[in-house]
Structure 1
């Protein structure tokens, strides 16, 4: 029995090592970071954020403050039993993660869902991917080189309203934080694994990829999407600035999508497949 456990542990360690190597080689973790300077140097992309900055900052401040006031002490007491002196740090990370989840769910469903789409589409247009964007919305004449001014009425809207599944999954992962350091790392990695593919929901829609095509594509690039998701999640966990990083992460995801288009590494959509069949 002990040999079986040892063998299983070795196989799992090997699998994690392979995924980690693939994640590093993918360089996908750079895209959330690349999104920051690109966003800051393209002032036209500020418009969607500017239109929602006050309500989103107010929401973020309120939720983060309330979470620390109400949940920090009891959670720190529990984590102290498992993490010892590290409990103070791990509890901060835990509360920030919980706050960012609540802020993300509420803001993306009720405040900034459409302006995040505008940011994604605007970045693609800035990267000369107007034809791709035209599959999901009307394109206007616009004002010169301003990509946001060219965004017309949405034809397709990818973001789904709140469903309890993601939050339930999130709270199922919470006990991992009882494991000192390693548990918190695993928790963030698991959350990042879901965050990565979600960042390309709009891209998959514009490519007209079916659910099965999306699943296969995400599985092929799961290391890259996890790497992107972990960095994006850590940025959005920063108090108050998390809303800003939600937009820069969206820009980073669009830059990645544009690079994928340039490299032609995405699966062909159903329309292309039908044409080939003819």
Structure 2
């Protein structure tokens, strides 16, 4: 049995859609590149690492339109959440797998909005352009994943059914991500002095970014529920991005804290 035959035991055949095919390549390539850029020190504009060490003065720094941190994150996540909600009204019932997928995506962004409103604490701002760019990216990826799943309607199910395993991974991922975001929030005060501390509790003594580890698990769960090419392309791209971002995070903590343990890995306990 060749590789294509093995793959098709786990995935639906790629749909005859130029848009989804292009999005599969673009999502994987752009997210993977973003991960490599994080490793190289070129960080996203919303990152706490962005402009670290920069010596830009008020005279030559161009003032950008800004949101508060909370408003910026609400702008980033709300359209993707609404895309998930709208899919229930705009697209008819197409079986259990489709319902599970759009439910998982909607719950994922509902959880993010809940954290923005009630868990995270903010001491900074987000540029309007950055918030809108992130918002468009999340909205497009969510809508594309739902549309890609819609295109599988009527096709034979993959011989190996992963959706129940996917549900388990999704619940584990979203729960672990939420718990470790809560632990991070306990380190800071609203509108505080922006001082960072080494987090502890949960898996923080093993890896500095357990919230990324569980986010990866959650997206793997979504892909197993979906079992289509676009979902796995997006998940692998997200995984490579978060691996790069966690590597950069660990390097940042090493540079800021003399007592940072060398045994604490970036995102995968004992390995990376």
TM-score range, shorter chain: under 0.3
**Which structure shows the bigger proportion of residues in helix conformation?**
1
TM (norm. structure 1) is 0.27
The alignment's TM-score, normalised by the length of structure 2, stands at 0.27
